[in-house]
Structure 1
Amino acid sequence: MKLLRYGLPGFEKPGLMHADGTVRDLSDHIADISAATLSPLMLEQLRGLDIEGLPMVEKPGRIGACIGHPGKCICIGLNYSDHAAETGATPPNQPIIFAKAVTAICGPYDDVEMPRGSDALDWEVELAVVMGDTAKYVSEEDALNYVAGYAVMNDVSERTFQTKLEGQWTKGKSHDTFGPIGPWLVTTDELPDPHNLDMWLDVNGERRQTGNTNTLIFNVPQVISYLSRFMTLKPGDIISTGTPPGVAMGMKPPQWLKEGDVMTLGIDGLGEQKQTVVAA
């Protein structure tokens, strides 16, 4: 299934993308695409619905973040060896973990704000994992059983805030609109293996990032198992798994985003996003 949310910010409704390209309304069956509706049991009930009989949404308008009200968003840094190389970093021996504030999460076509004082705004196409069950001390072998689905995410970053201000990376990752996710959540029955997906990102029509999830240093089961040692992962939590090479920070000289720039990005089977950079 491809689950999505449509409507104005704060008033999104749950929907399903039909194979014919139409959006079908799920409001009569669930209140939202969120923690309460991502359990294996609930997803199985949704799969059993008569999709043809669901109301068609004629004009869905804005597409919101594909997951509503996530409890936390945990990101993995330097998780592609070629991205680590372009930034001059040594590939890590263990996953690098940082947090992105959930207030950064937004829709896949929403504008991305350039923070006040920003001089190094960057892009990062990433595979996002959305949890569907509570995971604590899970094994790598069982880890994928706790996943509800996958989505495209742009881990927008302000590199000066991230690397030159004292403290941790979170301050460079958490401005409002720094987490576009969607357009939809693809459930695991449609995407059983997330480890061979082409991914890309363009800025103003020029290709900047090209990669594939088969070059992840730490794959999805490893990341979930590792995180579950340090924190309980809950339904609706987002894990953003890292970005391939081609970010602005790795260019010589860096080509930071500026107001009016347009980012277009996507991952095979997970859809595409598009954002315009605006002043905060």
Structure 2
Amino acid sequence: MKHARVRYQGAVHDAIERDGALLLADGRLVAFEAVDWLPPLAPTPRPRTILALGLNYADHAKELEFKAPEEPLVFVKGEGSLIGHRQLTRRPAGVQFMHYECELAIVIGRTAKKVRRDDTYDFIGGYTVANDYAIRDYLENWYRPNLRVKNRDTCTPIGPWRVDAKDIPDPMALALQTTVNGKLTQSGNTRDMIFDAGFLIEYFSRFMTLQPGDLILTGTPDGVVDCQPGDVVVTEIEHIGALVNTIQGAS
């Protein structure tokens, strides 16, 4: 099932996809174009943890002239960086290189602590698409991206859907791609991750407790290009959805 969160007629609604439209929890059926899309995250009573991987595809590491990592390179993101489908991402004035990163995002479904590898998929609630923009001008160290690179307001579109894990039989065999203004600029497959979903959940849960609603952004393959104001960027993952985002100039 495909879940969404949207704002419609001044109120926030949970919704599911139904026959090419949105079925709201109150039973109303509305068009995709009639709503403002929000990050498709299940409500949670506490701040969620967002973990993001760097250099998790060998081809992307090579593209950036780095060796593939021997253990996960991870940083923490704030929830305030997230925006929804069809929203605007600001490009700061004067920057020279700002690029998208199409990523499979894992949504934790239940509390995970010291999980065995064979059991890891039992703790995944679903998946969504993330576009984790980076601004190279502000990058001091690829292994430890600073706040201005990865925690900017509007820098991480996510959605449009949160797809139940049971509807994605093999998350490690999903085609992903990015287009900019309709031109294909990035193409890859989740099978090429260095550290797959099961490894990551086992690894993180050894030393921290993952809670329902937590996110793991799993990195991007090669093919990133500079994005300019007005560019329409579509990051898409097979069976999950196409996330549309437009670059806005500095205000």
Q: How far did residue 228 of structure 1 move? A: 1.3
Q: Which residue of 2 aligns with 1:32?
A: none
Superposition TM-score, scaled by structure 2 size? 0.91
Which of 175, 184, 206 is equivalent to 2:161?
Answer: 184
Equivalent residues of 1:98, 1:169 under 8 A apart: no
Matches within 5 A, 1:40-59: 54-58=27-31
Question: What is the CA-CA distance between 1:132 and the residue it aligns to?
Answer: 1.1
Aligned residue in 2 for 1:275 = 245
Count of residue correspondences: 246
Partner of 2:50: 73
8 Å contact kept, 1:162–1:173: no
Counterpart residue type for residue 62 of structure 1: D
Asked if the contact 1:8–1:64 (Cα under 8 Å) also holds between the matched residues in 2, the reply is no
Give the share of equivalent positions with the same residue, in percent.
Answer: 36
Task: Sort the Cα spacing of 1:242 and 1:10 in 2 relative to 1 into closer, same or farther, 3 A.
Answer: farther
Deviations 1:215-262 (A, max 9, x none): 1111001011111123211111111001011013xxxxxxx2221122
Per-residue deviation, 1:68:
5.2
The match for 2:178 among 169, 194, 201 is 201
Q: Which residue, 43, 63, 76 being the options, matches 1:99?
A: 76
SS at match of 1:183: strand
The DSSP-based 3-state class of the residue aligned with 2:219 is coil
Residue of structure 2 in register with 1:134 after alignment: 111
**Cα contact 1:162–1:170 (8 A) shared by 2:** no
1:5 Cα offset (Å): 0.8
Paired residue type of 2:30: V
RMSD between aligned alpha carbons?
A: 2.2
CA displacement 1:52-95 (0-9 Å, x = unmatched): xx432356422211115661211011111111111101000101
Alignment of 1:113-192 (within 5 A): 113-163=90-140, 168-192=145-169
2:224 is aligned to 247
Q: Alpha-carbon deviation of 1:136?
A: 1.3
Query: In structure 1, what is the Cα distance between the partners aligned to 2:194 and 2:68?
Result: 8
- Name the CA distance, whole Å, in 2 between partners of 1:96 and 1:278: 30
SS of 1:171's equivalent in the other structure is helix
Instruction: Give yes or no for the alignment of 1:2 onto 2:15.
Output: no
Residue equivalent to 2:209: 232
Match of 1:232, as an amino acid?
A: T
Structure 1 position 140, deviation (Å): 1.4
Name the one with the larger strand percent.
Answer: 2
Distance 1:198-1:226 versus aligned 2 partners, 3 A rule: same
Q: Does residue 24 in structure 1 map to residue 23 in structure 2?
A: yes
- Tell me if structure 2 keeps the 8 A contact 1:74–1:100: yes
Tell me the SS of whatever aligns to 2:37.
coil
C-alpha contact 1:25 1:56 (8 A) present in aligned 2: yes
Provide runs of 4+ in structure 1 moved above 6 Å.
Answer: none
Give, in angstroms, the shift of residue 164 of structure 1.
6.3
* Structure 1 residues 170 and 223, CA gap change in structure 2 (3 angstroms): farther
